[in-house]
């Protein structure tokens, strides 16, 4: 049996696709091979076709498949047709397999570090045109596709693509590269609310409020999308899961309390699916023991990482404290400076009174009534209106959180690996938010304390850093 190598692209929809096969050489490179026996069989069986003829795939494939069934039923009276039809169909299938692999490489390869040649060996495990060993316990992937194909149900191209994307060895490779070939909507369909709670609590470490909201959204999705899909399946309608329609999103949104508009709801659904996908990739790629998770749902995830040494811990804590103070100083300077500039544009005297009132209240411990008398105000309500301390603290809190989030995570990367950091990311964010909130709460408590008590207590960290900023500002001016 002979074949010829070719580097020429196979023309689309021409008869030559039934005798041109994709192969892998000894060096792992992709090749196109012309299988002369398949070409001879095809042209003899379809005398009206030439190599350049545009053919109807459905008619050709149905005829080839029919010959295979007819010959097998006739107890091998026509083995030549079985062999020839098998060869031609496998040539076509190899090209469809190559097309799927190139598509996957085009979508994910650059980001995840692979090309189509890395994928082909998982799905092209037979050299077309050469005899291969038949065994009751082994079946090549091409044989598996062909023997399960039914032209009454789908085209050979569609059936081949579907089985390639569901082939376990290929999917295992993709999982190891961080790719899980299933749509967001299919993931949401087969995830139970209890599973979501466990995954979001133990793997993603979300807050109870975030988990509760995600469960509500998943319940609404199941009640509308999954319910309608099940009805379609019962009616005989099959196919992949498509994104929810605007009408479905509207129905889901109405089930939520508080309700969401369709566009934000769609983004929330995609975020939930993304987190579930991340968990499934982790489990299926062998980096996490899924059985232990199910057996002990309250046990923390056992992800290997090197514990920081005491010196590294002290170094990180020192860097964290420095970063926190720097962030607080930056936030105070940014927000206070912005407020001062805004007042200056309207009234320069008000801007100066604002800075003075901050100093008198936080640094010198004067009451707002005393400050009002110093400014010849009618009452302390005018000082409160000038300072707007609650708004000032909230703005500084927001600015500090934004400042710290990225910088602290960047520092943490030096003391642990990326895998561990992904797991504790949310915990770090919560710890930062908790400490920032405490600083602001302490400042709020201090501000509401009577003047004589404030004189007797150590000033809050917020007040200390605000006074340092005011001192520096007065020295500069």
- Cα–Cα dist 271/451, whole Å: 49
- What distance in Å separates the CA atoms of residue 215 and residue 197, rounded to the nearest whole number? 7
**pLDDT over 70, % of the chain:** 77
pLDDT digits (tens, 9 = 90+) for 214-236: 999 999 999 999 888 888 777 77
Which of the 8 DSSP states describes residue 54?
B
pLDDT for res 93: 94
Mean pLDDT confidence for 88-107:
91
Distances (CA, A) of 206 to 316, 327, 386, 424: 24, 25, 39, 10
Instruction: Using pLDDT thresholds of 50, 70 and 90, give the confidence band for residue 304.
Output: very low
Q: Helix or strand or coil: residue 134?
A: coil
Tell me what pLDDT residue 136 has: 57
Please give the Cα distance from 193 to 247 (Å, whole number).
Answer: 23
Q: How confident is residue 37, by pLDDT bands cut at 50, 70 and 90?
A: very high
Distance (Å, whole) CA 197 – CA 214: 8
pLDDT at site 335: 92
Q: Which tens digits make up the pLDDT trace of 392-441? A: 988 898 888 878 776 766 665 555 555 555 555 566 667 777 788 888 88
- Which of the four pLDDT bands, split at 50, 70 and 90, describes residue 299? very low
**So what's the pLDDT on residue 2?**
45
Q: Provide the 3-class DSSP secondary structure of residue 384.
A: helix
| pLDDT tens figures, 370-398 | 999 999 998 888 998 999 998 898 889 88
Residue 154, phi then psi, degrees to nearest 5: -165, 170
**pLDDT band for position 291 (50/70/90)?**
very low
- Position 96 scores a pLDDT of 92
Predicted local distance difference test score (pLDDT) of residue 247: 92
Q: Give the residue with greater pLDDT, 458 vs 144.
A: 144
Tokens of 393: 């603290």
Per-residue pLDDT band for 98 (boundaries 50, 70, 90) equals very high
Going by pLDDT thresholds of 50, 70 and 90, the confidence category of residue 311 is low
Look at the pTM and tell me if it is higher than 0.75: no
Give me the residues paired with residue 87 across strands.
Answer: none
**Between 79 and 102, whose confidence is greater?**
102
pLDDT above 90 for 352: yes
Alpha-helical regions (H) of 22-56: 36-45
Among 228, 246, 245, smallest CA distance to 237 is for 228
Cα 182 to Cα 203, 278, 280, 287, distances in angstroms: 20, 12, 11, 19
CB 170 within 8 A of CB 164: yes
Beta-bridged to residue 120, according to DSSP, are: none
Rounded Cα gap, residues 5 and 1, in angstroms: 14
Q: Are 360 and 366 in contact (CB under 8 A)?
A: yes
3-state secondary structure (DSSP) of residue 306: coil
């Amino acid at each position: 049996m002979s074949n010829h190598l070719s580097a020429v692209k196979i023309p689309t929809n021409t008869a030559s696709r039934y005798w041109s096969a994709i192969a892998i050489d000894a060096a792992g490179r992709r090749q196109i091979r012309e299988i002369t026996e398949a070409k001879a069989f095809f042209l003899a069986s379809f005398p009206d076709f030439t190599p350049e003829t545009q053919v109807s795939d459905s008619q050709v494939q149905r005829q080839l498949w029919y010959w295979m069934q007819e010959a097998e039923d006739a107890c091998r009276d026509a083995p030549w047709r079985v062999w020839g039809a098998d060869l031609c169909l496998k040539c076509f299938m190899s090209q469809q397999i190559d097309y799927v692999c190139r598509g996957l490489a085009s979508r994910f390869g650059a980001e995840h570090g692979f090309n189509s040649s890395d994928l082909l060996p998982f799905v092209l495990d037979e050299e077309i045109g050469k005899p291969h060993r038949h065994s009751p316990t082994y079946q090549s992937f091409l044989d598996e596709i062909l023997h399960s194909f039914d032209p009454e149900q789908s085209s050979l191209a569609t059936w081949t693509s579907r089985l390639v994307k569901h082939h376990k060895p290929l999917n295992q490779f993709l999982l190891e590269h961080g790719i899980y070939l299933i749509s967001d909507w299919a993931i949401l369909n087969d995830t139970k609310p209890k599973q979501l709670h466990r995954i979001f609590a133990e793997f993603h470490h979300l807050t109870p409020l975030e988990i509760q909201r995600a469960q509500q959204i998943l319940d609404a999705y199941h009640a509308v999308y999954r319910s309608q899909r099940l009805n379609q399946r019962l009616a005989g309608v099959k196919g992949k899961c498509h994104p929810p329609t605007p009408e479905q999103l509207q129905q889901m949104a109405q089930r939520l309390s508080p309700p969401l508009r369709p566009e934000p709801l769609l983004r929330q659904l995609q975020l939930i699916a993304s987190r579930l996908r991340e968990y499934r990739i982790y489990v299926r790629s062998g980096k996490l023991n899924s059985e232990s998770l199910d057996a002990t749902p309250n046990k923390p995830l056992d992800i290997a990482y090197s514990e920081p040494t005491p010196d590294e811990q002290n170094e990180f804590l020192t860097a964290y404290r420095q970063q926190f103070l720097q962030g607080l100083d930056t936030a105070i300077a940014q927000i206070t400076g912005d407020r001062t500039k805004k007042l200056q544009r309207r009234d320069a005297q008000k801007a100066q009174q604002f800075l003075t009132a901050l100093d008198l209240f936080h640094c010198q411990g004067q009451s707002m009534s005393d400050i009002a008398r110093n400014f010849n105000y009618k009452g302390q309500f005018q000082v409160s209106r000038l300072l707007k301390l609650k708004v000032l603290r909230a703005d500084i809190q927001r600015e500090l959180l934004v400042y710290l989030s990225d910088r602290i995570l960047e520092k943490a990367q030096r003391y642990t690996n990326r895998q561990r950091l992904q797991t504790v990311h949310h915990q770090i964010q919560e710890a930062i938010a908790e400490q920032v909130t405490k600083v602001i709460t302490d400042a709020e408590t201090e501000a509401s304390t009577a003047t004589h008590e404030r004189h007797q207590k150590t000033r809050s960290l917020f007040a200390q850093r605000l006074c340092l900023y005011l001192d520096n500002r007065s020295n500069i001016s």
